[in-house]
Structures are given as structure tokens and as C-alpha cells.
Amino acid sequence: MQQNALARMKTHFPSTATAVLLVLAGAAALQAQPSETFIDTLDVQVVEVDVVVTDRNGRPVRGLTREDFELYVDGEPVEITNFFESELLGQPAEPADRTAAPTADAEPPESEAAADPASLTIVLYMDDANLFPPYRSRLLRRLEKAVESWRSLNARFMFARFVNRLEVVVPPTSDLDAILKAAAKRPKGLARAVRNQRSRQFTLEDINVNSRGCQNTGQLVALAETYAVEQANRAAIAADGLADLTSTLAGIPGRKAIVYMSDGLPQQPGLSAFDYIAQDLCPNDPRIVPETNAAAQRHDETRRFQQLTAHANANRVTLFTLDAGGIRTGLSQSMSFDGRAPSYQNDRLHWTNIQGGLQQLASETGGKALLNSNDLADLLEDVTEQLASTYSLGFSPDERRSGEVRRLKVELAPHAARGRSVEYRRSYRDKTQDEQLAERLISAAYLGSTPNPLGVAVDLGATTPREKKVHRQPVSIVVPEEAVLLVPGDGGPSGALRLLLLAVDEDRRGRAPVRQMTVPVGPAGDVQATEGAFRFEVSVSLAEGDYQVVVGVRDETTGEMSLVREVAQVPSR
């Protein structure tokens, strides 16, 4: 093999137990990007906008036509080039034997149903790090009955949870009972979630004890700021988990809906603590309101949630956010203070604030925030109604603006409005090709979807020690010559293969950015075929542990891409 045929790609994994959480624009870390090929420049992009129309009573409206809708991008009207109505209601499926083993593995994500671009995948996602155990137990007790309406949907289902990392418990399957059985096996909550639930109470008690007639307002604001930082950190971790799940779903065609269960996401962390100081403890102090307002404005998660919804919209993911607290009671009603208890207005401000983030995520992605109810069945029936009948409005953007968020607006034409309302995603972001490819590898790592149209073969060799607790893992990649399209040129036929590599730590789900490189192949390229195949040797540096190694190979001329997943075991010395 020629020396220039040896393509070296190196990446390092953290040796600590800290999970590497996905940054919303994490795919931007891809390196050595090639220019677009002539095939890519001829590709016509169609952006699909999923729309739900309801009447005055909240019931879905069916039978509308293309002429009944008006679509705007950044305030300018655009032509609706593609239109169809998706009807996903079918005959309710009979519950399977709950004592049988889950059948999720028997139906891979790349099945015919999942490949349909009009298909629907519903993800039940429990943010266990932010689920108060009593709330969580109540949800699980009522879950089996609550999801009965989902059996009438022609959809696939998935169960995921988040603790310190994203965990895909059951990959996409049509077997809803596999989801219920997996959820029932995880009935316990986390001590961390208990501390989170009680942190507001402890903070207000500390502020009350140290108030001393409001003589030292700086100390009181500092206590509130500590609580605000703590809440902001929790919101950031929750947003990262949702972003990770959204990237994982990018490899699944069709619509995706996430039912996100948590105790809420505060838009302004610590807001009720600042209000408690200004309105309940020190209402007559003219210095305190400007000070607490300024402090509250320093802690605002609105922009973070906007980035998350843009990421979800780019991947055609709708968020249904559920406040697990249901019908809430306030601190002023459930406990006593050795001083001035928080007012009912302060409690309401707290509830509105933690539900504000849930409202934002749902409304910006065309979903619904499911709030203020202890009846889980009613809440999930709302999900069923909204997903059962959807209109898809497709349009071709006037220009590609990779990475830029553009605002969408959908209205009913005057003759079709008649008191009806519409729900839809409020933005879209044109993902770069690099981001799309990276997310396909992430989906393969988590969900096991590994189409291989190019017939790529991958072999992981024996590891060799490099440094403390780090080994070199060689990866051999073989691509059949006949599977690659070579284009005639002055120097002879040539083509290009893009090689991508991702390794995910099985224990910690830590991962580094996807690494990639593009190699010219063929008689006029850098790498010639030997024995009827193009052969590459690459390597990755891995710490001790078990990994899912995903190799992607893309024919840059045709856009055809293969994914191969292998298990790597790096022994301890």
C-alpha cells in the first residue's frame, strides 16, 4: 500500500467519569471539510413544516387543502411546493403479553416503517435528575392506562432517560408494551432530585433567618444568587440532555415527538427567591427592588432554550413538555416559617417560572406544554390528538443559509380561519452537511441503525498501550471498488470517499467530536484499489473501557453512505 494511502485520524476520550455532553452546535467541531461536490450543488432542499389545525374546542380539523394555508419565512410569503395530510390513526393494537421479554431488538430502526418520511416516532423521555421521586412514582403508576390512546397511532415508540448522561433504554419499536415494561423496571427516583425539589425551601428559610430587619440586603441577595446559579446549572444540564436526544433522533426519518417529563425548567433561575426578598421581607426598602431585579436579569435561560428549540426544529422534533408536579401547593400552605412565610403570590411566581421553560420549548417546536393536572391520561390524550392528524407544508428556501435560524409563520387563509388555531414549529435552521453526517453517526451509536449500501467491512485490531490508561485502537476499513462511482477526468477516473469515526464509551456515554477526512480515490486519486477494494488504516486513542465504534464511509459523488458499528474493548494494564 502506498504511503499516502494511510489515512490517520486520532481522537482522545476523557479518562474521568464525567460524561461529555453534546454542545448544541457540537457538529461544528468536525475537521478537514471538503468543498461541496457537483452532485451536492444539484440537490434541491425542501423544508417540511408540520402543522396541526384545531377548532374552537381543541379538536383536530381534517380535510384542508394547500390553498387553505399561508406560509412565511422571515416575514416574507413563500410558495408551498409540497403538501400532504398525514392521518396516523389506525385500529388500536392489542396489548401484548406483559410477561414476555421486550421485542425492541427484533425490529431495527431501519425497518420499512421507520424509513417512511411521513412516519412518526414518539419518545417517552424521563429527566430522572429533575423528577421528584413521589411525582415520578405517580407517573409510572398511571403510565400504562395513560398511553392506551397511543395504541391507535401508526407510530413507533422509544424510551429514554437522563441521569448523568442520556440512556436509550428501548430503541424505536412498534411494541408499546416493551416501553411500559422497561419503565416499570425503573421505579426508584434519585436523592439528587429530592435535594433539587427542596432547595427553594432551604434557600427561603436561610434568607428569612438572615433578614434581621433587612439591614444587610447584600447578604440576602447573595443567598438568592447562590440558589439561582444552582438552578441555572440544573437547567443547563437538562438542556444538554435534550439536545443529545435530539441529535440522536436526527438519523430517524419522519416526524419525531419527545414527551419530556420533569419538574420544570425555570426561565429565570432564582426568580422567586429575589421576589421573596423584595416583596415579602423588605417591601418598604427602596434599595432592594433595583438590586434584586438586576440580579434576576443576570440569570435568564431564554436564549439557551431558543438554541435548543432551533436544534429540535432542524431535526423535525416536536417537544411535548410535562410538568410532573401536576396540581401544585405552595410553601406558604405546606410549611411554617419562624418569621414571614412566602406569600401565595410568590408561590405562583415560582410555578409560572419553572413552567415557563416548558412552555417555551413546546410552543417553539409546535408541541404543547402539559401542565396543572394530576390526570396523566388526559395529558397524553392531548398528545395523541395533536399527532394523529398533521399537515405537512413543504417549501424550497430561496437560498442556503447554513447554521442561521430563520423564523417561520403559518396562517390559515381568511376563508379557512373560522376561529381555528394552528400549531407549528416557529423556526428552522439549515444544517450543514457536516452536522448531518455527524448526527447520523451519533444515531448509529445510540440506536444501532447501520445501513451499509456500499458493503463496507470494518475490522478492529488489537490495542497497544500509548500512555497511562490510554491505548491505540487500529481500525481497518475496506470499501469494494465496484461500490464507488468514479468520474472520468483528464488524469483518469477518480472519486472521493469521506471517512468518519466516532467512539462512544459504553459505561459513561462520553464521546469526543466526530473526526473525519476526505480521500481522493481511483486511478487519478491518492488511493488506488488493491484486490478490488480501497483499503484504509486509521486509529483512535481510547481510555480503558468498552466502546461502540461507528465508522461512516460516504461516496462524495453519489452521496451514498454506509455505517458500520463494532464493539471495542480496551483492557486495563
Greatest extent of the chain over all pairs of C-alpha atoms, in Å: 88
pLDDT at 17 over 60: no
pLDDT at 496 over 60: yes
Rounded-to-integer distance, Cα 91 and Cα 9, Å: 51
Rounded-to-integer distance, Cα 52 and Cα 506, Å: 39
pLDDT at 48 over 70: yes
What's the length of the chain? 573
State the pLDDT at residue 110. Answer: 41
State the pLDDT at residue 508. Answer: 60
pLDDT at 381 over 60: yes
State the pLDDT at residue 517. Answer: 92
- pLDDT average, residue stretch 293-306: 90
**DSSP code string of 503-546:** EEETTT--BPPPEEEEEEESTTSSB--BTTEEEEEEEEEEESEE
* Mean pLDDT for all residues in the chain: 83
422-443 burial, b at 16+ Cβ within 10 Å, e below that, comes to bbbbbbbbbbbbbbebbbbbbb
Rounded-to-integer distance, Cα 441 and Cα 499, Å: 11
Which pLDDT band, with edges at 50, 70 and 90, does 388 fall under?
confident
State the pLDDT at residue 102. Answer: 44
Which pLDDT band, with edges at 50, 70 and 90, does 40 fall under?
very low
Which pLDDT band, with edges at 50, 70 and 90, does 330 fall under?
low
State the pLDDT at residue 378. Answer: 84
State the pLDDT at residue 20. Answer: 27
pLDDT at 80 over 80: yes
**DSSP code string of 88-116:** -B-PPPPP--TTSPP-GGGS-TTSHHHH-
Q: Count other Cβ atoms within 10 Å, centred on residue 163.
A: 15
State the pLDDT at residue 192. Answer: 82
State the pLDDT at residue 108. Answer: 42
pLDDT digits (tens, 9 = 90+) for 261-293: 999 999 999 999 999 999 998 887 888 888 888
Range scoring the smallest mean pLDDT among 105-114, 148-157, 304-313, 500-509: 105-114
pLDDT digits (tens, 9 = 90+) for 199-218: 998 999 899 888 887 888 88
Which pLDDT band, with edges at 50, 70 and 90, does 332 fall under?
low
Rounded-to-integer distance, Cα 305 and Cα 260, Å: 14
Which pLDDT band, with edges at 50, 70 and 90, does 573 fall under?
low
557 DSSP assignment: T
Cell numbers 429527566 correspond to 127
Residue scoring higher pLDDT (279 or 1): 279
pLDDT digits (tens, 9 = 90+) for 340-372: 788 889 999 999 999 999 999 999 999 999 998
Backbone angles phi, psi at 257, to 5 degrees: -125, 130
Cell numbers 444501532 correspond to 448
pLDDT digits (tens, 9 = 90+) for 171-203: 999 999 999 999 988 767 778 888 888 899 899
The dihedral sign for the CA sequence 439, 445, 448, 451: positive
Residue scoring higher pLDDT (482 or 129): 482
Which pLDDT band, with edges at 50, 70 and 90, does 426 fall under?
very high
Rounded-to-integer distance, Cα 304 and Cα 54, Å: 30
State the pLDDT at residue 262. Answer: 94
- pLDDT average, residue stretch 241-261: 92
pLDDT at 65 over 90: yes
Query: Burial of 286 by CB count in 10 Å (0-12 exposed, 13-18 middle, 19+ buried)?
Result: exposed
Cell numbers 406483559 correspond to 98
